[in-house]
Amino acid sequence: MRFRVPFAALSIVVAALLLLPGYSCADSPGFDCAAARGEIETLICSDSRLAQLDRRMTTVYEQAMQRLPADEVRAQQATQRGWIKGRNDCRKAADPEFCVAASYRTRLVELQIISGQLVAPTAVGLKCSGENGVLFAAFYNDSDPPAVVLSRGGDQVIVFRERSASGTKYAAAKVEYWEHQGKVTLKWFGETLACVPNSR
């Protein structure tokens, strides 16, 4: 049997929940769930892990805006609007929850890098099969989770550390970096490259 709870009664229930031991505002995202719009914002409000990522985004974004020069602030505000649209497009994904989490993690690291919230490491050069130039890998071990920025020509991709039975593995959609015994296998949008650290 279906029934509707009066709004006033619902407000009392919500208020009571807020007073319960163990309930925390930490279970809420950085936006007002009462004003949530669309499938993805509703999903974020119902998933504590995604809500935590959204709160981190609020903090990291605000810190980035304080650190960046005015022209870059305007550029990043536009980029953030585009990112939100892309995040919301995760409703079309086979696994929307995974898609949203990956979207948050990538943008968080991107914002932290461009605003100096993460210390920039020295990039490692990679000489790969079939490549005339050198690829570069910059390891951000202080990010959460640890990440590596892979640069190939004019393209850059952020990939995140994953569990591996052997060696060290980083992965994102269509890109994988696996280092084992001094050799690197790089899967890059359908290509598989065998790489070694550049000695020059």
Structural domains of the chain sorted by starting position, each given as residue range(s) with its CATH number in brackets: 30-114 (no CATH), 124-197 (2.40.128.200)
Tell me: the pLDDT tens digits for 137-195?
999 999 999 999 999 988 999 999 999 889 999 999 999 999 999 899 999 999 999 99
Sorting pLDDT into bands at 50, 70 and 90, what band is 132? confident
Range from 23-27, 57-61, 189-193, 194-198 carrying the lowest mean pLDDT: 23-27
Return d(Cα 148, Cα 117) in angstroms, integer: 15
Encoded tokens for 68: 């960046």
- Mean predicted confidence (pLDDT) in 84-105: 97
Per-chain mean pLDDT for the chain: 87
Sorting pLDDT into bands at 50, 70 and 90, what band is 5? very low
Residue 131 has pLDDT above 90, yes or no: no
**Residue whose C-alpha is closest to residue 80's, from 110, 53, 100:** 110
Q: What is the pTM of this model?
A: 0.81
User: How many residues appear in the chain?
Assistant: 200
65 touches 118 (CB < 8 A): no
pLDDT score, position 27: 75
